[in-house]
Structure 1
Amino acid sequence: MAKLYLVGTYDTKAEELTYLAAILRRGAMHVVTVDLSAQSFGPEADISAHDVAAFHPKGANHVLGGTDRGHAVASMGEAFGIFCSARQNDIAAIIGIGGGGGTAMICEGLRALPYGVPKLMVSTLASGDMAPYVGTSDTIVIPSVTDLAGLNRLSRNILHNAAQAILGMVASPYVRPIAEKPSIGLSMFGVTTPCVTQITAALNQDYDCVVFHATGTGGRTLESLTDSGYLTGVLDMTLTEIADEVVGGVLRAGPDRLGAAARAQQPWVGSLGALDMVNFWAPDTVPDQFSNRLFYNHNANVTLMRTTAVESVEIANWIAKKLNACRGPIRLLIPEGGVSALDTPEGPFWNPDANAALFDTLHSRVKQTAKRQIIRSPHHINDAAFSALAVQTFQYLIEDR
């Protein structure tokens, strides 16, 4: 039977880990304690730091016994990631506690576990930017509020609640239906919501439509699930993360965006949603180099900048290079009526010259073949007719395959 794993550094967090273990064991769950002490050894856990370190490709001695804490933490994190991947069938759920180093090591293991396995991290870093630690995983993060340096009235309360949360997940696990529809991935932004909503309404009867918010993490997750084979196909209607990648916005999904489309060789239908904009946070965060540009305040914390014709050419070249590497069935749909809710004749981002630069560069740079084709449509991306074209095109690729 799979077990509940409790993870932390016993050399510095033994009191908190012992307290947590007692609560978890009262929950009638088989608890396995794991020590990630990277430089010194604390009280004995069920699985010692040496046992975990032995999973490192260069062996336990590479991880333990050195004087460089940064090296020890990074190496132990790598070892724990391999450990979790190897033991994933034995892990019903996992909870970890840690400060800076502990959070980094434990989260590397949590990211290695499949989606759906309950993962909970109590961290002193939780009030800050956790994106580097959580990545694209479904890890739940709870702020420790106090430092994890011994138990006190507040930390006992927070750790108790964390224990009850993970026990609740284990006690009532999600049960997958016996018969499931195949899953397809879609990318969406607020300004392309009508497009994707219409597509999902048309395909929902036959497919499990998994929609990703194109905020960087969403794009990376879409790529990851495509690589894993979880998705039967993709309707990648919103590529705004690529505009941020090329121009320097804050919602970048990384240089591998569209890479999975080439590797998976599954049906892929894409469009140019929200490529009229680059995303920044509040107005005072916009770099000075863009001070004379056209902006739209989406809300108090999000500022959108209209892409220029020159930037549109750069974005188109970036996309074309990625699509030219694809050997599977590919269709790129160009909505000549506009690429976002702001890109209409009455909208603040209407710029026919920038759009023409984007559309024409893609048409000339994408090497069309029997499998890789561009389809130009006179409609706006949010028009019902454009969504119907995307659905029809996707269904054709699926049936043809």
Structure 2
Amino acid sequence: MPVIALVGALDTKGAEYTFLADRVTALGGRPLLVDVGVLGEPSLTARIGRDLIAELGGGSLAELRERGDRNAAMTVMARGAAGALADLAATGDVDGVLAVGGSNAAYVMAEICGRLPFGFPKVLVSTIAAGDTRSYVRETDLTLMYPVVDINGLNRLSRPVLANAAQACVGMATSRYAEPADSAPLVGVSMFGVTTTCGANVVRGLDDRGFEALTFHSTGVGGRTLEALVRAGTIRGVADLTTTELADELVGGVCSAGPDRLTAAATTGVPQVVSVGALDMANFYDTVPPEYAGRQLYPHNPAVTLMRTTAGECAELGRRIAARLNPSIAPVAVLFPRRGLSQLSTPGGVFHDPAADDALFQALRDGLRPGIELHEFDTDINDPVVSRTAVDLLAGWLEKETP
């Protein structure tokens, strides 16, 4: 009988959570109601009440009510709910989590999911599911359902959606997949469309050496997920050959992974091979900001426009890479292909700019501390010699760690 935590504001969503609890029970599960409401009186009784949730979040319900600050209240309640669910999951006392509501429910669920392990059933029914969900999904495997109508009582449209959500969560918890204990060590690989050949070759090479490669698309979310899994101890080594997200961070592109990109492996002692894949470009949706008028642009597809990075920007990117790699406490090497950072900057390509590439190389050479190898290639990023070198270096380090 799987235990499904139903997390929500039981003062405003009582009818919906009563329906969900009934459905979970009918499906053979056991509902565990967790109340994160603050202002109104709950219309049904929770197993884990709002007073305890507020306390676990570092506050008190009375203080939150007195302040009347919704933002502060949601911060405390989300933190408390995340702590409570993390403890229950760790002890095996809950098997899945389901929440419904608007942006507040989504924020609470995002905080909870950040504390739960990968593969743990997580379902959110929310109106935010039809919008930009990056700040809610973050780096988790949260399952989203769009309710079509607002979560405001039960009707002929909302009931089937809520019923499906309950069935999905119970089904996940009942038939949860368990990875074999003798699975191959995991290695993270970064890749972009213009470095696909390199990424695919690295994955095949690592597989031949007995490792399992996880590929992350360098669109911002991919980089953040890679960093999170390294910090969590899930990933044993990193072939971070496509660091294009750093360019978007620098110029304000849409694929930035934030200031923590390229820091997790260095600080946690995870071996890594790093390259400069697709640092010849930054990404923009629809229109490029007016301050970049006159820059060299290339339409990647009808929704994405690429902008070539300048020599000055490349020099700054080289300095940033060096600064983030220098604290590394595990083996690290940098691979630099002199004849193209992507398939667009090879000789004759639309982004071919040897001066910009050279500025990047010089900044790396000047900035990297002694002990970090800088391998130079008279090829482009997608040449097999680059991927083969990456595999040989990384697999060699990891194989020495294996007893």
Same fold (TM over 0.5): yes
Q: Tell me, in whole angstroms, the C-alpha distance in 1 between the residues paired with 2:156 and 2:2.
A: 32
Q: Tell me, in whole angstroms, the C-alpha distance in 1 between the residues paired with 2:108 and 2:178.
A: 30
Partner of 1:77: 78
1:143-222 pair list within 5 angstroms: 143-205=146-208, 206-222=210-226
1:299-310 pair list within 5 angstroms: 299-310=301-312
Partner of 2:106: 103
- CA drift of 1:45 comes to 1.6
Give the letter for the 1:178 counterpart: A
**Conservation of the 8 A alpha-carbon contact between 1:245 and 1:252:** yes
- CA drift of 1:308 comes to 0.6
Partner of 1:350: 352
In structure 2, relative to structure 1, the CA distance for the partners of 1:298 and 1:389 (3 Å cut) is: same
Percent of residue pairs bearing the same amino acid type? 39
CA deviation digits over 1:69-118, x for unaligned, max 9? 22211211121122222222322111100112222123211221111001
- CA drift of 1:396 comes to 2.6
Describe the SS at the equivalent of 2:129. coil
1:1-400 pair list within 5 angstroms: 3-43=3-43, 44-89=45-90, 90-205=93-208, 206-282=210-286, 284=287, 286-369=288-371, 372-400=372-400
Range that drifts further, 82-91 or 372-381: 82-91
TM-score by length of 2: 0.95
Q: Tell me, in whole angstroms, the C-alpha distance in 1 between the residues paired with 2:399 and 2:78.
A: 44
- CA drift of 1:241 comes to 0.5
**Conservation of the 8 A alpha-carbon contact between 1:39 and 1:69:** no
Give the letter for the 1:381 counterpart: I
Describe the SS at the equivalent of 1:12. coil
In structure 2, relative to structure 1, the CA distance for the partners of 1:13 and 1:55 (3 Å cut) is: same
**Conservation of the 8 A alpha-carbon contact between 1:62 and 1:75:** no
**Conservation of the 8 A alpha-carbon contact between 1:81 and 1:109:** yes
Range that drifts further, 166-175 or 270-279: 166-175
Describe the SS at the equivalent of 1:278. strand
**Conservation of the 8 A alpha-carbon contact between 1:212 and 1:218:** yes
Give the letter for the 2:172 counterpart: M
Long gaps (5+) in structure 1: none
Describe the SS at the equivalent of 1:327. coil
Give the letter for the 1:242 counterpart: L
**Conservation of the 8 A alpha-carbon contact between 1:184 and 1:209:** yes
CA deviation digits over 1:163-222, x for unaligned, max 9? 222122123211211321010111111111100101111111401111111111111111
Range that drifts further, 59-68 or 339-348: 59-68
**Conservation of the 8 A alpha-carbon contact between 2:2 and 2:28:** no
Range that drifts further, 179-188 or 378-387: 378-387
Give the letter for the 1:144 counterpart: P
**Conservation of the 8 A alpha-carbon contact between 1:368 and 1:374:** no
Range that drifts further, 180-189 or 90-99: 90-99
In structure 2, relative to structure 1, the CA distance for the partners of 1:51 and 1:2 (3 Å cut) is: farther
Describe the SS at the equivalent of 1:174. coil
CA RMSD of aligned residues (A): 1.5
Describe the SS at the equivalent of 2:128. coil
**Conservation of the 8 A alpha-carbon contact between 2:57 and 2:78:** no
Range that drifts further, 163-172 or 325-334: 163-172
**Conservation of the 8 A alpha-carbon contact between 1:235 and 1:394:** yes
Q: Tell me, in whole angstroms, the C-alpha distance in 2 between the residues paired with 1:210 and 1:170.
A: 24
CA deviation digits over 1:373-400, x for unaligned, max 9? 2111112110112111111111232244
**Conservation of the 8 A alpha-carbon contact between 2:244 and 2:282:** yes
**Conservation of the 8 A alpha-carbon contact between 2:5 and 2:32:** yes
Describe the SS at the equivalent of 1:141. strand
